[in-house]
């Protein structure tokens, strides 16, 4: 199927064409039919010569209803542009054509209606000349009469040629269905309609609402008035949603493939077609069926930052337009360059950002994905896809991608960080993992281990160090630990108290360094013994009558309760002893090796 918008100025002529081509009444409201004035979007469909099915979105022509017109043409890839032979080019025709040009529509056909009332050639020549100066370029044209039926067969044949030339849509693309109509059906619930420009919808699919992030499921599908289990783009689709109240959705919202889109209220863009001087600071952004007020901050001659009144699901490469509603004109076309732009907080930041965007938008432009990776350093593959960008960079685990130059720089910087840390903190074997993450601005602690491996370093006990590196104690600390070790060799379980440690000038940092160096064993806070004391304790306790009490263990070890309690808990944890329900203990017959 293909979808074509009917645009132009002559409401009655457009609607009549759709009615004649499809046998359907596109004007849904009685007021529209009575006045011959299209107010809202109308729809119809038919089968063209050769069997191709095509749907029409009939958009309003009057300037009061331009927002409705833009909601209809936003997602549609081709246009049937209508002018009347007896009226020629009208002011509103200009705004319709400017909108199509701003959106970059490249496929179209000109229909000159009412050829029974006037010679169609002057209107045809004038319209073709104007259309040729836009993104549509040179288009075919057909003169028709709704009253006599003259030219309708030629129009059908021309439409068949038009749709045959349209590029195929990607059926595997992520779904972004812009909603242009919502209603309720008794017994079925909420139904929304829209033009599916890319991707595939299936009954049972899980989707999310762009405005709220709420999840829903596709309860049923229709296309061209028929039930369907699957709808492939490009197509008009009616989607029956499960568990969604009608008031939760409105025109301008969108249904999205879950976890594949970013919604943003800021975007950096290129501006096209604005040759009328400085833009107003407040305009309306039109994309898909959405119309959102925006504030504009110029960044360069043809680049700007848009601040949206509400977030939208945007991607790099999206085309949209800015409209000045007060002056009834299309202000500029928009090409989205970056949907996650950096903050502009320092003096000159806007000017520098404008220069960066000029590289993205100008001749020989830098690919947007590489620019994002270069600026952010690390980004996940999922984030790149959600931005509408290809996955670039080096994979570094957990879906992360890194700019190759940054990774090389970090690999060289980490050893210098480790050496500097050891120089400033001789009691420590290496840099704590979290300190590395913060200093090098890594996205997570897991990245530290990967970087350490790339730099031929190791992560031991939560610290990054050289492989096999052990703490080297300063001479004063070494002497104090030697004195303490001599005391413990005589009374292995008489752990020094706080006063004795202070007298030896062994504070928490010195004691931690001695533990890392393998000179002391930390049994508990403030309780330090020699390494291997746990085996010696097991041997002494095995000589007791089993099971034994805490007091018996304390006497056998020749120590105090302050030491005996945590030492026994350590022995329990090592499997040397086991605690019984009555709080006595026994030495296990077979101890783990």
**Three-state SS sequence of 151-205:** CHHHHHHHHHHHHHCCCCCCCCCCCEEECCEEEEECCCEEEEEEEECCCEEECCC
pLDDT tens for residues 295-310? 999 998 889 999 999 9
Q: Which helix (H) or strand (E) holds 370?
A: helix 368-376
pLDDT tens for residues 428-440? 778 889 999 999 9
For 127-143, give the secondary structure using H, E and C. Answer: HHHHHHCCCCCCCEEEE
Which pLDDT belongs to residue 466?
81
pLDDT bucket at 478, cuts 50 / 70 / 90: confident
CA distance 314 to 86: 42
Strands 394-395 and 400-402: antiparallel
What does the DSSP 8-state code read for residue 63?
Answer: G
Helices H / strands E in the chain, number of each: 18, 32
CA distance 133 to 125: 13
What integer best gives the mean pLDDT of the chain? 87
pLDDT top residue among 582 and 37: 582
Which pLDDT belongs to residue 593?
42
CB 158, CB 109: distance < 8 Å: yes
Furthest CA-CA distance within the chain: 120
Average pLDDT estimate for 211-218: 93
Q: Is a pLDDT exceeding 90 seen at residue 176?
A: yes
CB 471, CB 445: distance < 8 Å: no
Mapping DSSP to helix (H, G, I), strand (E, B) and coil, where does residue 371 land?
helix
Q: Which of 9-23, 265-279, 551-565 has the highest mean pLDDT?
A: 551-565
CA distance 553 to 542: 10
Is pTM beyond 0.75? Reply is yes
Which pLDDT belongs to residue 364?
52
Contacts 24+ apart (CB under 8 A), 587-590: 587/538, 587/541, 587/542, 587/546
Which domains, from first to last, does the chain contain? Answer: 2-164 (3.40.50.300), 176-256 (2.40.30.10), 263-386 (2.40.30.10), 404-465 (1.10.10), 475-587 (1.10.10.10)
Report the alpha-carbon angle 551-553-555, nearest 5: 70
Mapping DSSP to helix (H, G, I), strand (E, B) and coil, where does residue 374 land?
helix
Which pLDDT belongs to residue 515?
81
Q: Residue 189 burial by CB count (10 A; 0-12/13-18/19+): exposed, middle or buried?
A: middle
pLDDT tens for residues 121-168? 999 999 999 999 999 999 999 999 988 889 999 999 999 999 999 999
Half-sphere exposure of 418 (CA within 13 A, CB side): 24
Residue 592 burial (CB count, 10 A): 7
Mapping DSSP to helix (H, G, I), strand (E, B) and coil, where does residue 588 land?
coil
Q: Is a pLDDT exceeding 80 seen at residue 524?
A: yes
Comparing 40-44, 444-448, 559-563, the range with the smallest average pLDDT is 40-44
CA distance 59 to 76: 11
pLDDT bucket at 363, cuts 50 / 70 / 90: low
Strands 53-58 and 2-8: parallel
CA distance 535 to 345: 62
Q: Is a pLDDT exceeding 70 seen at residue 64?
A: no
Q: Is a pLDDT exceeding 90 seen at residue 562?
A: yes
pLDDT bucket at 34, cuts 50 / 70 / 90: very low
pLDDT bucket at 366, cuts 50 / 70 / 90: low
DSSP calls for 302-360: SEEEEEEEEEEE--TT-EEEEEETTTTEEEEEEEEEESSPPP--STTHHHHHHHHHHHH
């Amino acid at each position: 199927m293909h979808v074509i918008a009917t645009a132009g100025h002559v409401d009655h002529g457009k609607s009549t064409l759709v009615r004649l081509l499809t046998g359907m009444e596109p004007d849904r409201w009685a007021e529209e039919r009575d006045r011959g004035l299209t107010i809202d979007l109308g729809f119809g469909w038919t089968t063209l010569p050769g069997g191709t099915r095509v749907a029409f979105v009939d958009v309003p022509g009057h300037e009061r209803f331009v927002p409705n017109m833009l909601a209809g043409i936003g997602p549609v890839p081709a246009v049937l542009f209508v002018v009347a032979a007896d009226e020629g080019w009208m002011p509103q025709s200009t705004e319709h054509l400017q909108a199509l040009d701003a959106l970059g529509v490249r496929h179209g056909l000109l229909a000159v209606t009412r050829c029974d009332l006037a010679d169609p050639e002057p209107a045809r020549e004038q319209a073709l000349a104007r259309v040729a100066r836009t993104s549509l370029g040179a288009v075919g044209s057909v003169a028709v009469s709704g009253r006599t039926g003259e030219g309708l067969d030629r129009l059908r044949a021309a439409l068949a040629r038009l749709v045959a030339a349209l590029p195929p849509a990607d059926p595997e693309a992520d779904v972004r269905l812009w909603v242009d109509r919502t209603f309720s059906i008794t017994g079925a619930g909420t139904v929304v309609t829209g033009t599916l420009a890319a991707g595939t919808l299936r009954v049972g699919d899980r989707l999310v609402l762009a405005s709220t992030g709420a999840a829903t499921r596709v309860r049923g599908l229709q296309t061209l008035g028929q039930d369907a289990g699957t709808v492939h783009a490009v197509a008009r689709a009616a989607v029956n949603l499960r568990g969604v109240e009608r008031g939760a959705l409105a025109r301008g919202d969108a249904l999205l493939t879950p976890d594949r889109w970013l919604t943003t209220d800021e975007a950096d863009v290129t501006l096209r077609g604005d040759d009328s001087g400085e833009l107003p600071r407040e305009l309306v952004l039109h994309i898909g069926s959405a119309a959102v007020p925006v504030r504009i901050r110029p960044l360069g001659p043809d680049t700007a930052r848009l601040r949206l009144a509400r977030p939208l699901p945007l991607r790099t490469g999206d085309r949209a337009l800015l409209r000045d509603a007060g002056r009834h004109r299309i202000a500029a076309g928009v090409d989205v360059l970056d949907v996650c732009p950096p903050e502009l907080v320092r003096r000159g930041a806007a000017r520098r950002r404008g220069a960066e965007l000029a590289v993205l938008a100008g001749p020989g432009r830098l690919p947007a994905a590489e620019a994002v990776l270069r600026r952010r350093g690390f980004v996940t593959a999922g984030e790149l896809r959600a931005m509408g960008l290809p996955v670039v960079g080096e994979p570094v685990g957990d879906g992360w991608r890194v700019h190759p130059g940054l990774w090389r720089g970090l690999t060289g910087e980490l050893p210098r960080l480790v050496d500097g840390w050891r120089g400033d903190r001789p009691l420590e074997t290496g840099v704590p993992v979290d300190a590395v993450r913060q200093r090098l601005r890594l996205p997570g602690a897991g990245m530290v281990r990967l970087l350490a491996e790339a730099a031929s370093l190791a992560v031991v006990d939560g610290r990054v160090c050289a492989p096999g590196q052990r703490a080297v104690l300063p001479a004063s600390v070494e002497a104090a630990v030697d004195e303490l070790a001599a005391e413990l060799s005589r009374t292995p379980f008489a752990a020094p108290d706080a006063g004795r440690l202070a007298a030896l000038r062994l504070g928490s940092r010195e004691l931690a360094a001695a533990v890392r160096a393998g000179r002391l064993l930390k049994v508990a806070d403030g309780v330090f013994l020699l390494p291997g004391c746990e085996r010696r304790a097991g041997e002494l306790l095995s000589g007791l009558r089993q099971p034994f009490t805490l007091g018996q263990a304390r006497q056998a070890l020749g120590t105090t309760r302050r030491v005996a309690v945590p030492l026994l808990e350590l022995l329990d944890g090592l499997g040397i002893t086991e605690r019984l329900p009555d709080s006595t203990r026994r030495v296990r017959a077979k101890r783990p090796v």
